[in-house]
Chain A
Amino acid sequence: MASDTVLQLHGIGLAKSGKRLLEDISFGLERGKFHALLGPNGAGKSSLMKILYRVERAGTGEVMLDGKPLTNWPRTAYAARVGALVQEAVTLSGLSLGEVVRLGMLPLRLSAGEMNDRCGEALELVGLADRIADDAAYLSGGEQQRLFFAQLLALDPDIYLLDEPHNHLDLHYQYVLLNAVKARGKTVLASFHDLTLATRYCDQAFLLNHGRLAAQGALAEVLTTERMAEVYRVDARYSEGIVRIEGALAQSNAN
Chain B
Amino acid sequence: MEQSSDNHYGLVLAGVGLALALAIAAGVFWGTANLPVDERIKALLRLPDAQRNLELIIWEWRLPRVIAVALVGAALSLAGVIMQALLRNPLADPYLLGLSSGASAAATASIVWLPAVVMTTVGLPLLAFAGAMVAFLVTLGLAFRPGRGMDKLMLILAGIAVSLFFSSVSAFFLHIADPHVTRNALSFLMGSASGTKWSQLWPLAVVVPVACLAVFALSRHLDAVLLGDERAVALGVPLNAMRVGLFSVAALLAGLAVAIAGIVGFVGLVVPHMARLLVGASHRRLVPLAVVLGMIVLVVVDLLCRIVLAPEELPLGVLLALFAAPPFVVILRRVRRGL
Cβ–Cβ < 8 Å partners of A94 in chain B: 226, 276, 280-282
Whether B223 and A91, one on each chain, are in contact in the complex, defined by CB atoms closer than 8 angstroms, is no
**Complex CA–CA separation, A55 to B230 (angstroms):** 6
Known contacts A94-B280, A94-B282; is-contact A84 B226 (Cβ 8 Å):
no
Interface string of B1-32 (1 = CB under 8 A from A): 11001000000000000000000000000000
Q: Report the minimal beta-carbon distance from B218 to chain A, rounded to whole angstroms.
A: 11
Q: How large is the interface on B (under 10, 10 to 19, 20 to 34, 35 or more residues)?
A: 20 to 34
Given contacts A53-B234, A55-B230, A90-B228, 6 further A-B contacts (CB under 8 A): A54-B233, A86-B228, A91-B337, A92-B227, A94-B281, A95-B281
Q: Report the minimal beta-carbon distance from A18 to chain B, rounded to whole angstroms.
A: 11
Residues of B within 8 A of A (CB): 1-2, 5, 88, 146-147, 220-221, 223-224, 226-231, 233-238, 276, 280-282, 337-338
Listed A/B pairs (19) with beta-carbon separation below 8 Å: A16-B147, A55-B229, A55-B230, A75-B238, A76-B236, A83-B234, A86-B231, A88-B228, A88-B230, A91-B338, A92-B227, A93-B281, A93-B338, A95-B223, A95-B226, A96-B280, A100-B227, A106-B224, A132-B1
Whether A54 and B234, one on each chain, are in contact in the complex, defined by CB atoms closer than 8 angstroms, is yes
Question: CB within 8 A of A92: which of B2, B221, B226?
Answer: B226
Whether A106 and B235, one on each chain, are in contact in the complex, defined by CB atoms closer than 8 angstroms, is yes
**Complex CA–CA separation, A100 to B276 (angstroms):** 16
- Chain A, Cβ-Cβ closest to B221: A106
Q: Report the minimal beta-carbon distance from B2 to chain A, rounded to whole angstroms.
A: 7
Cβ–Cβ < 8 Å partners of A100 in chain B: 227
Q: Report the minimal beta-carbon distance from A17 to chain B, rounded to whole angstroms.
A: 6
**Complex CA–CA separation, A88 to B220 (angstroms):** 20
Q: Report the minimal beta-carbon distance from B109 to chain A, rounded to whole angstroms.
A: 39
**Complex CA–CA separation, A88 to B228 (angstroms):** 7
Interface string of A36-56 (1 = CB under 8 A from B): 000000000000001001110
Interface string of A48-81 (1 = CB under 8 A from B): 0010011100000000000000000001111110
Q: Report the minimal beta-carbon distance from B284 to chain A, rounded to whole angstroms.
A: 9
Question: CB within 8 A of B146: which of A17, A77, A96, A135?
Answer: A17
**Complex CA–CA separation, A80 to B146 (angstroms):** 30
The residue among A75, A96, A103, A116 with the most chain B CB atoms within 10 A of its own CB is A103
Whether B1 and A75, one on each chain, are in contact in the complex, defined by CB atoms closer than 8 angstroms, is no
Q: Report the minimal beta-carbon distance from A56 to chain B, rounded to whole angstroms.
A: 10
Cβ–Cβ < 8 Å partners of B237 in chain A: 75, 106
**Complex CA–CA separation, A64 to B300 (angstroms):** 58
Q: Report the minimal beta-carbon distance from B234 to chain A, rounded to whole angstroms.
A: 4
Cβ–Cβ < 8 Å partners of B226 in chain A: 90, 92, 94-95
- Chain A, Cβ-Cβ closest to B236: A79
Known contacts A86-B228, A95-B226; is-contact A78 B236 (Cβ 8 Å):
yes
Whether A80 and B236, one on each chain, are in contact in the complex, defined by CB atoms closer than 8 angstroms, is yes
Whether A75 and B236, one on each chain, are in contact in the complex, defined by CB atoms closer than 8 angstroms, is yes
Interface size, chain A (Cβ < 8 Å): 36
Q: Report the minimal beta-carbon distance from A3 to chain B, rounded to whole angstroms.
A: 27
Whether A107 and B236, one on each chain, are in contact in the complex, defined by CB atoms closer than 8 angstroms, is yes
Q: Is A13 an interface residue (CB 8 A)?
A: no
Whether B220 and A103, one on each chain, are in contact in the complex, defined by CB atoms closer than 8 angstroms, is yes
Known contacts A17-B146, A106-B220; is-contact A95 B282 (Cβ 8 Å):
yes
Whether B281 and A107, one on each chain, are in contact in the complex, defined by CB atoms closer than 8 angstroms, is no
**Complex CA–CA separation, A148 to B233 (angstroms):** 15
Q: Report the minimal beta-carbon distance from A13 to chain B, rounded to whole angstroms.
A: 18
**Complex CA–CA separation, A75 to B242 (angstroms):** 13
Whether A99 and B236, one on each chain, are in contact in the complex, defined by CB atoms closer than 8 angstroms, is no
Q: Is A165 an interface residue (CB 8 A)?
A: no
Known contacts A92-B227, A106-B220, A133-B5; is-contact A86 B338 (Cβ 8 Å):
no
Whether A86 and B230, one on each chain, are in contact in the complex, defined by CB atoms closer than 8 angstroms, is yes
Whether A106 and B228, one on each chain, are in contact in the complex, defined by CB atoms closer than 8 angstroms, is no
Q: Report the minimal beta-carbon distance from B125 to chain A, rounded to whole angstroms.
A: 33
Cβ–Cβ < 8 Å partners of A92 in chain B: 226-227
Whether A98 and B338, one on each chain, are in contact in the complex, defined by CB atoms closer than 8 angstroms, is no
Q: Report the minimal beta-carbon distance from A54 to chain B, rounded to whole angstroms.
A: 6
Q: Is A104 an interface residue (CB 8 A)?
A: yes
Q: Which A residues from 99 to 152 make CB contacts under 8 A with B?
A: 99-100, 103-104, 106-107, 116, 132-133, 135, 148
Whether A88 and B235, one on each chain, are in contact in the complex, defined by CB atoms closer than 8 angstroms, is no
Interface string of A1-37 (1 = CB under 8 A from B): 0000000000000001100000000000000000000
**Complex CA–CA separation, A96 to B146 (angstroms):** 33
Known contacts A79-B236, A80-B236; is-contact A103 B281 (Cβ 8 Å):
no
**Complex CA–CA separation, A17 to B146 (angstroms):** 9
Whether B338 and A53, one on each chain, are in contact in the complex, defined by CB atoms closer than 8 angstroms, is no
**Complex CA–CA separation, A16 to B146 (angstroms):** 10
**Complex CA–CA separation, A72 to B2 (angstroms):** 38
Cβ–Cβ < 8 Å partners of B280 in chain A: 94-96, 99, 135
